Chains A and B, each alone.
Chain A
Amino acid sequence: MDERHISFKVNGEAYALTVATNRTLLSLLRDTLKLTGTKYGCGEGECGACTVLMDGRPVNACLVLAVKADKSEILTVEGLADGGKLHPLQTAFIEKGALQCGYCTPGMLMSAYALLQGNHRPNDAEIADALAGNLCRCTGYQKIYDAVKEAAKVLYTEDGND
């Protein structure tokens, strides 16, 4: 198997390593870096459980080859909290009951994070558009709308950004 040397950042930490060219970013994160917060759900880009941000854009880590992460900055669910302080999205998901088993939650959070970067006040239709690629089998999605809107309020009202 071919191997390549890559260097990239995950959650702000720099890595330089050699990976097989057939490895996925999902496998690199989970098996090599032991960042198991990012989940396997289907391996075919259909469920969104492996969603991470690559240079600020949400991607299905199961569909991205690890070598493509060369020179990129990756953000995973483990990088959302600021030290001991949860990100407002994480707090809102907890308080609004926007999760049950929690398996889709890391991917859901990353897609919602990407949405809020570009849209500080999403309505229901915009939330549905942004998160339609993230399957949840537990919640029926209802409380996720509430949580995303609550997080938007906390993020972009209190500090006067909006």
Chain B
Amino acid sequence: MTKIHAAIVADTDQGVVGQSVPMVDACEKVTGKAIYGADVEMPGMLYGRVLRSPHPHAKILSIDAAEAQRLPGVRAVVTWADTSGELIGFSQYSDHYIFAKDEVRFVGDEVAAVAAVDEDTAHRALKLIKVEYEVLPAVYTLDEAMAPGAPLVHDVTPENIAHQITYSRGDVDAAFAKCDVILEETFETSPAHPAYIEPQACLAAFDAYGNADIYANTQSPGGSIREKTAQVLGLPLGKVRIHQTFLGGGFGGKVWQHIIPATAVLARKAGRPVKMMYSRREDLACTPSRVPMRMKLKMGADRTGRILAKETLVLADNGAYCINSPIVIDTAATRIENLYRFENIRTTAKLIYTNKVSTGTFRGFGNPQGTFMVESMMDMLAKELAMDPAQIRIVNAVHPGYVTAHGWKINSCELEQCIHEVKRISGWEEKRKANRFGYGIGMSCVIHVNGNRSCFPAFDGSTAYISMNESGEAMVMCAEGDLGQGASTVFAQIAAQEIGLPMESVRVLRVDTEYAGFAFGAFASRITVNGGNAVRHAAAAVRRALLETAAGMRGGDVDTFTIHQGIVTDGTGWSATVAEVSLQYIYAHAGTNLRCDGFFIPPDVVIADKVTKYGNISCAYSFAAHVAEVEVDKDTGKVEVLNYYAVHDAGKLINPMLAEGQIEGGVAQGIGFALYENYCYGTDGHMLNNSFLDYKLPTFKDVPKITTGFAQGCDPVGPMGAKGLGEPTIVPVASAIGNALADALGERITQMPFTAEKVKGVVRRVMAQAAKEGQA
């Protein structure tokens, strides 16, 4: 293997980056050839199923699996005793087992699992496992869990507080004293599910030497779930191999998947490969949702709209166990405080255990919650000050070179441009004059990270390598993987441009941890900047090595050689194909492919202080401004989003078509979050709407025309000037729709989702009031 450090070459004439090339793996997807999690098969494969708790909170007195084990076709039954027995979870918050040890804490908690020759047998076997429970009192809501003397979800955690932070900046009380207007409101967000169309799925096998070999639809093949799987199996990390299959969506829900270690434990005990896929009902009820929050906010501004002070209490419903929720609530509390030039802030955030399914990561990582709170309040303050909501945002916007209250160093930032552009394309000024009951227009902005240094203490960054095969194809391996939104295409475009190859000469390999490096995976909108830069560095090194090899073949000064569209030339009329040069390299190195590694370490980032949360956690920040137009059906209360406009600062775009697609998809998810996605629970802690019939996702009929736009920008750190775009697309949607709805009704609904029932209640009240005033 060759390691060459080469300067990155700015070669602008290749024209691959910045083009709307189709996804590199689209052909596999439209022909049905792409292999997803549940499509993987192995000879001798068994089928796995999980036995789950029917109780929200209970002690396990005994588990008797003898009868299940005797059922013909059953090959293994596993419980906690078949694991290493260690607590797993998010760093110091490790609070659960992959199978319950002696207590279950939500309806659906994993108790045992079965592997059998077919799914019907596995299903029958579950019913034969006898579990004796002693039912314990349960708490379902924030209020129940926080009440004095409330039953504890975890005996070791007093007051059910899983995690809390308190911090302040500036002089909050003095600043409030200077305000011309101070408003207070409480906002609530709902627990939406990522609802990827492919349920979680996994196939696990063990080789003759006890190494785990796992195929999974995971967003984080090299990251935390591999580590947790090794921990549950009691194996060193190097003995757990994960192949990333195609993913049928993830959106944060496939970062952390209990199904992976659970299936591996089954496969080890059965001594045969085991495949498991959750049913849709199981997936909705038993895998983490977005963390729902209740946020009390007091904010004050002076006459010009400048925000002077902010005081916040965030309470978040953690559910039974900490998945990634501590960092989600930290994000909800802090991130929005970097969108504007806040100087005086005081924030407390508490994460509360309840006896419901664990909550965790879903696109936006807490930022949609915090943004809903503050961006709603910005409109309330604008109204109070008789200001244009766009103007109050401009007055307070951060700008390049600004260091925020949390120490975030704002590098490239086109927030103001986004606001101006979204005003222009939406016809903001004109439409705001409509002033008609039932019609409204609203705006919201967003700041988001490109990776978060605080996620993994040991390091941050990405690794990739590129290997040139005998045919002159660049085989790109970036350990981060592709969760389906187009990372592979972005990597291919970067590699093609940097090396000087046509797109068809670049192949992006699927992640196999045996051959890829260590990586966290696709979350925190980190892939374009981190993975993209790693690929770019590897490509630059490959280009340099190809040029040196060509110079060796031809003779002459390496600096006179160039590569364009897969052809190496030296300016004298000599030329060779990259295939010829790559083969020459292989012959000259006893069969070794020309292979170069690249890595990227985000510059100037720190782990945020544990207590104060201060520190620049990301090397680039993405921005956007969105506008929603809504119409309310006054008879039914149904909210229709008429038009949606979104302008993003994603730096220089790598692929405009994919970038538009990211926005359109994020906005559609945001519409579901804003208008109807929610969990309904029975009094016994069972989720009542865990099917796609009752858990409503936006369909063709619910998503309006989405007009997208991009600010002209260029990030100094991102690859070829690009920034991430995955999460910021969903973050401002609920607040933009909420603000439009408040404009339509003249009254604000502060509790999401904005269902027809709630809206109808407001319509009835407002119309009754108007009628009364009309009579008077």
Contacts and interface: CB of A to CB of B under 8 A. Distances in A.
Interface of A: 30, 34-44, 46-47, 49, 76-78, 80-81, 86, 90, 93-95, 97, 99-106, 109, 127-128, 131-144
A86 B197 contact: no
Contacts of B41: 34
Contacts of A78: 31-32
A138 B251 CA distance: 9
Nearest to B194: A137
A141 B691 contact: no
Given A35-B32, A46-B692, A103-B247, 6 more contacts: A97-B658, A101-B247, A101-B484, A132-B700, A138-B661, A140-B669
Given A46-B693, A137-B196, A103 B31 contact: no
Contact of B700 (A36, A77, A141, A143): A141
A49 B36 CA distance: 13
A80 B39 CA distance: 19
A43 B690 CA distance: 13
Contacts of B39: 30, 36
Q: Which 7 A-B pairs have the closest CB atoms?
A: A37-B32, A102-B29, A101-B484, A103-B248, A140-B668, A140-B664, A46-B692
B682 to A, nearest CB: 20
Contacts of A44: 280, 691-693
Contact of B30 (A46, A86, A139): A86
B669 A137 contact: yes
Contacts of B661: 97, 100, 138-140, 142-143
Interface of B: 20, 22-23, 25-36, 38-39, 41, 194-199, 246-251, 277, 279-280, 483-486, 657-658, 660-661, 663-669, 691-693, 697-701, 703, 705-706
Given A97-B20, A99-B23, A143 B691 contact: no
A66 to B, nearest CB: 14
5 contacts: A39-B198, A86-B27, A97-B661, A101-B246, A143-B661
A47 B22 contact: no
Contact of B485 (A30, A128, A132, A138): A138
A40 B22 CA distance: 26
A140 B31 contact: no
Nearest to A105: B29
Contacts of B279: 43
B770 to A, nearest CB: 34
B90 to A, nearest CB: 25
Contacts of B199: 40-41
A81 B657 CA distance: 24
A90 B31 contact: yes
Nearest to B482: A101
A38, A100, A135, A140: most-surrounded residue (chain B CB, <10 A): A140
B691 A103 contact: no
B485 A100 contact: yes
B697 A137 contact: yes
A90 B484 contact: no
A121 to B, nearest CB: 18
Contacts of B30: 77, 80, 86, 90, 93-94, 99, 102, 105-106, 109
A96 to B, nearest CB: 8
B31 to A, nearest CB: 6
A140 B665 contact: yes
A94 B246 contact: no
Is chain B's binding surface mostly helix, strand, loop or mixed? loop
Nearest to A107: B197
B31 A80 contact: yes
B665 A128 contact: no
A42 B280 contact: yes
B703 A141 contact: yes
A27 to B, nearest CB: 9
B668 A141 contact: yes
Contacts of A102: 25-26, 28-30, 34, 246, 248, 484
Contacts of A104: 197, 248
Contacts of B34: 102
A126 to B, nearest CB: 11
A97 B22 contact: yes
A38 B33 CA distance: 10
B197 A37 contact: no
B32, B280, B660: most-surrounded residue (chain A CB, <10 A): B32
Nearest to B670: A140
Contact of A36 (B35, B485, B691, B701): B35
A23 to B, nearest CB: 10
B691 A142 contact: no
A100 B246 CA distance: 11
Contacts of A144: 700
A47 B36 CA distance: 17
Contact of B249 (A101, A128, A143): A101
B29 A43 contact: no
Contacts of A86: 27, 30-31
A141 B658 CA distance: 13
A135 B692 contact: yes
Nearest to A38: B32
Contacts of A105: 29-30
Nearest to B39: A36
Nearest to A130: B700
A44 B277 CA distance: 16
B293 to A, nearest CB: 23
Contacts of A99: 23, 26, 29-30
Contact of A95 (B22, B691, B699): B22
Contacts of A136: 197
Contacts of B195: 137
Contacts of B27: 86, 90, 94
Contacts of A40: 38, 199, 277
A38 B693 CA distance: 20
B280, B485, B665, B668: most-surrounded residue (chain A CB, <10 A): B665
Nearest to B196: A137
Nearest to A96: B657
B247 to A, nearest CB: 6
Given A86-B27, A131-B700, A77 B669 contact: no
A93 B692 contact: no
B31 A77 contact: yes
Given A80-B31, A142-B706, A103 B249 contact: yes
B674 to A, nearest CB: 14
Given A103-B249, A140-B703, A41 B197 contact: yes
A80 B24 CA distance: 20
B20, B41, B277, B661: most-surrounded residue (chain A CB, <10 A): B661
Nearest to B47: A31
Nearest to B250: A101
B667 A140 contact: yes
A131 to B, nearest CB: 5
B484 A47 contact: no
Contacts of B697: 135, 137
Contact of B486 (A41, A42, A49, A100): A100
B699 A39 contact: no
A128 B697 CA distance: 15
Contacts of B483: 101
Contacts of A35: 32
A12 to B, nearest CB: 15
